[in-house]
Amino acid sequence: MKEELIVKAYEVAKERYAAIGMDTDKAMDALQKVQLSLHCWQADDVTGFESAGELTGGIQATGNYPGKARNIEELRQDVLKAASYIPGNHRLNLHEIYGDFGGQFVDRDQVEPKHFESWMQWAAEHNMKLDFNSTSFSHPKSGSLSLSNPDKSIRDFWIEHTKRCRAIAEEMGKRQGDPCIMNLWIHDGSKDITVNRMKYREILKNSLDEIFATEYKNMKDCVESKVFGIGLESYTVGSSDFYTAYGASHNKIVTLDTGHFHPTESVADKLSSLLLFIPEVMLHVSRPVRWDSDHVTIMNDDTLDLCKEIVRCDALDRVHIGLDYFDASINRIGAYVIGSRATQKCMLQALLEPLDTLRKYEANDQGFERLALLEEAKSLPWNAVWDMFCLKNNVPVGEEFIAEVEKYEAEVTSKRN
């Protein structure tokens, strides 16, 4: 797109926003600071480099679009490619199964920081901060219960794994001079009715206490709940109530995955409650369709509401934004770009909201004025600001990235089989 055109449109938008008291330059500066944590697992349908076993744990990537990353080099190449179409500087969220195991089988209770040495170097070279996740799924010992397993030997295996993951996250955080956010999600649950709801939750609580006994300075723990998993439909040990209570009583970050709640539940509404009782929130921005299907995030009301709530709660520095979807049915690099840019577009609109005026209306009981301005704000030229933001960041403006992704597919990913 012609640069002059983008600049011209931006100048008009700037004036238009100034008229409602909003500064578009300031909004762009704020957006520049918002780092997304890109989930490494979108590049290869949550396969990882540990073994070629099937994906278990009640999650599923559907589709078999050609060209998925088959090894660490390809995954890195794809992530960098995707990042080159996303304005700003972002983080990479690794799962334990994506370690650099050098062709050896390293079991989960044996993993060490050295298996992430090459990742740490690579991340530093590319100015990408790392986040981390323990991996309870896709392993012979996964079963239906991991950290909540009554069998001590299995439980201890997963406790050891998770402790080691925290040590890895600590090393990452130390090396990058910025806390590594480590997410703990386990699939534990039951396919059919259980008569031991309390028992497994009590075991999980004790396992977590043991895991978190070591205090670290360079990593932050977060715990992620879920409603149900495939094959684990009747009961989830780590439910929302469980982790909300655990987080509030143990000062832990709670992860809200937008696909992990009942379909009509507003995840945006949870922020203001949680942030009063827990230090920070981690988000897994996704798009559930009918169920926790992990479709690619788009600019819809759910994502918009979520971003608006972050800004309205003045919580940009207390909410970490990660993405979590895995669509294997379309170009995977394109999926990264769509979801990331959609989240950023939502955040930009949130940053351009005339909040002071809206709040003044609300304080004065001017319901009509508040609703009218909310409606008008939806169609203000935020897209001209977005284009300018992309231009400033040297990434493709508008739909230009489609052709770029196609080119990479023709030249690189289509040659993989």
Count residues near ligand RNT (CB under 6 A): 12
Selected from 13, 31, 43, 46, the binder of ligand RNT by CB under 6 A is 46
**Residue 50 is a binding residue for ligand RNT (CB under 6 A):** no
Q: What's the min distance (Å) between Cβ of 409 and ligand RNT?
A: 24
Q: Would you say 260 is a known binding-site residue? A: yes
Q: Would you say 115 is a known binding-site residue? A: no
- Closer Cβ to ligand RNT, 24 or 190, answer by number: 190
**Distance from the first to the final alpha carbon of the chain:** 35
Residue 330: Cβ within 10 Å count:
13
Residue 151 a catalytic site member: no
Q: Which of the following is catalytic: 45, 324, 387, 409?
A: 324
Q: x/- contact string, 206-245, with Zn ion (CB under 5 A)?
A: ----------------------------------------
Task: Single out the residue of 348, 336, 270, 255 nearest to residue 10, CA to CA.
Answer: 348
**Residue 185 is a binding residue for ligand RNT (CB under 6 A):** yes
- Closer Cβ to ligand RNT, 187 or 370, answer by number: 187
Amino acid at 183: N
Q: x/- contact string, 205-224, with ligand RNT (CB under 6 A)?
A: -------------------x
Q: Which of the following is catalytic: 14, 95, 187, 226?
A: 226
- Closer Cβ to Zn ion, 175 or 284, answer by number: 284
Q: Restricting to residues 346-385, name those near ligand RNT by CB under 6 A.
A: none
Is residue 257 within 8 A of residue 306, CB to CB? The reply is no
Q: What's the min distance (Å) between Cβ of 237 and ligand RNT?
A: 13
Residue 386 a catalytic site member: no
**Residue 280 is a binding residue for ligand RNT (CB under 6 A):** no
**Residue 341 is a binding residue for Zn ion (CB under 5 A):** no
Q: What's the min distance (Å) between Cβ of 186 and ligand RNT?
A: 9
Selected from 14, 28, 37, 41, the binder of ligand RNT by CB under 6 A is 41
Q: Which residues are annotated as a binding site for Mn(2+)?
A: 260, 292, 294
Q: Which residues are marked as active site?
A: 185, 224, 226, 257, 260, 284, 292, 294, 324
Q: Which residue ranges make up the site for ligand RNT (CB under 6 A)?
A: 41, 46, 59, 95, 133, 185, 224, 226, 257, 284, 292, 324
